């Protein structure tokens, strides 16, 4: 189970990095590369009212399972009929539809998946599963998905092979014009801003982690002490800081059949920009991210560990009592990429900083 979670986390982080890398604009007569149509169009919707928050949980699970098998997926909002979803798929150029319906009653979820291949005649492939709304809900969703994909694995392999061939053909076409475009696209490099002064800062902070979204069904408000060591640059354009951030986010997780004491231990770089001269006020914005160690101490399964990733950003203000000491108030937003649902929350933070 832990290896499976680690593999899913790796897929998420790789896909996130690929998504964030900007694609260079094409030049000359080649034009931009044409976007390939999706392989599958998916719709997720509840059968009962007031349970729509689980749409994201199921959609994330479907997305990452299909990505891991080399397929491209497009989601359609609303609750379309089979005919409507088929029409939307044909319009998008997809060859398969996947409808995911679910119901939540008490502490149980039931999910039904229907795979329709538009290039083949016959009834849809259907898989159903149910299980408790507890810390292992993702296992229920993935079991239904894996059973379904196993039954159509030859078709999945065929679609993935066709997509890979199309992507390779597109890359080969772009490579033919790349040398000329590279020469035409060279631009002069401007000199970086040179800092006028540099110093070090050490910060200790205390926050409460307030979960939001689907995770709030299981996770309590957390206690979150943290540390930050930074190198600060004072320039004509403002104050910049690059540092290393870590902490321990402690909270409890409770489901209908089990509970756990949980620890999230993030470690990663922090980049900060400050406005003001520090006499006595400073305003700042920051972002940090990196790996996270997740530890769950459960009553039935013992201690479980996993590695995932996190992104944290926020804004705040500082009051500098002296040039070397200040107190800050910040409002942060945090995302931990534990699949198939994200652990998200806000963190009101109090921070004390020493500047050397």
Q: Which residue has the higher pLDDT, 32 or 132?
A: 132
DSSP line for 128-163:
EEEEESSTTHHHHHHHHHHHHHHHTHHHHHHHHHHH
Question: Residue 136's pLDDT is what?
Answer: 67
304-346 pLDDT per residue, tens = 888 889 999 999 999 988 878 999 999 999 998 876 667 888 9
**pTM of the predicted structure, to 2 decimals:** 0.48
Report how far residue 132's alpha carbon sits from residue 272's, in angstroms, rounded to the nearest whole number: 42
Q: Name all domains of the chain by residue range, CATH numbers in brackets.
A: 32-160 (3.40.50.10070), 197-355 (2.40.160.20)
pLDDT bracket for residue 216 (50, 70, 90):
confident
Q: Please answer whether residues 73 and 63 qualify as being in contact, where contact means their C-beta atoms are separated by less than 8 angstroms.
A: yes
Contacts of 185-189 with C-beta under 8 Å, sequence gap 24+, read 185/24, 185/27
Report how far residue 248's alpha carbon sits from residue 226's, in angstroms, rounded to the nearest whole number: 6
Comparing CA positions, the residue from 329, 353, 347 lying closest to residue 207 is 347
Instruction: Give the CA angle between residues 14, 18, 22 to the nearest 5°.
Output: 160
Query: Which of 129-133, 185-189, 288-292 shows the lowest per-residue confidence on average (mean pLDDT)?
Result: 185-189
């Amino acid at each position: 189970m832990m290896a499976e979670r680690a593999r899913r986390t790796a897929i998420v982080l790789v896909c996130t990095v690929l998504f964030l890398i900007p694609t260079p604009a094409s030049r000359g007569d080649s034009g931009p590369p044409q976007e390939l149509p999706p392989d599958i169009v998916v719709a997720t919707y509840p059968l009962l009212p007031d349970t729509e928050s689980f749409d994201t949980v199921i959609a994330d699970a479907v997305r990452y399972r299909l990505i891991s098998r080399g397929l491209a997926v497009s989601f359609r909002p609303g609750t379309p009929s089979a005919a409507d979803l088929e029409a939307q798929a044909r319009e998008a150029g997809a060859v398969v539809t996947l409808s995911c319906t679910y119901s939540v009653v008490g502490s149980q979820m039931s999910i039904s998946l229907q795979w329709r291949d538009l290039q083949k005649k016959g009834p849809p492939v259907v898989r159903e599963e149910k299980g408790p709304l507890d810390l292992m809900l993702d296992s229920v969703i993935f079991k239904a998905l894996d059973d379904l994909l196993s039954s159509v694995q030859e078709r999945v392999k065929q679609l993935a092979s066709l997509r890979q061939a199309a992507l390779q053909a597109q890359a080969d076409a772009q490579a033919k014009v790349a040398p000329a475009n590279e020469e035409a696209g060279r631009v002069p490099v401007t000199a970086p801003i040179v800092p006028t002064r540099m110093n070090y800062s050490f910060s200790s902070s205390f926050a409460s982690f307030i979960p939001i979204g689907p995770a709030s069904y299981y996770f309590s408000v957390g206690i979150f002490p943290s540390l930050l060591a930074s190198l600060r640059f004072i320039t004509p354009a403002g104050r910049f800081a690059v540092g290393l951030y870590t902490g321990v986010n402690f909270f409890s997780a409770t489901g209908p059949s089990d509970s756990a004491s949980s620890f999230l231990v993030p470690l990663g770089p922090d980049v900060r920009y400050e406005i003001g001269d520090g006499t006595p006020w400073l305003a700042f914005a920051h972002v940090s991210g990196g790996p996270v160690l997740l530890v769950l101490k459960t009553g039935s399964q013992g201690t479980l560990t996993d590695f995932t990733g996190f992104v944290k950003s926020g804004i705040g203000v500082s009051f500098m009592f002296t040039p070397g000491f200040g107190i800050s108030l910040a409002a942060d937003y945090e995302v931990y990429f534990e699949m198939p649902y994200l652990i998200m929350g806000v963190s009101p933070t109090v921070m004390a900083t020493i500047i050397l």
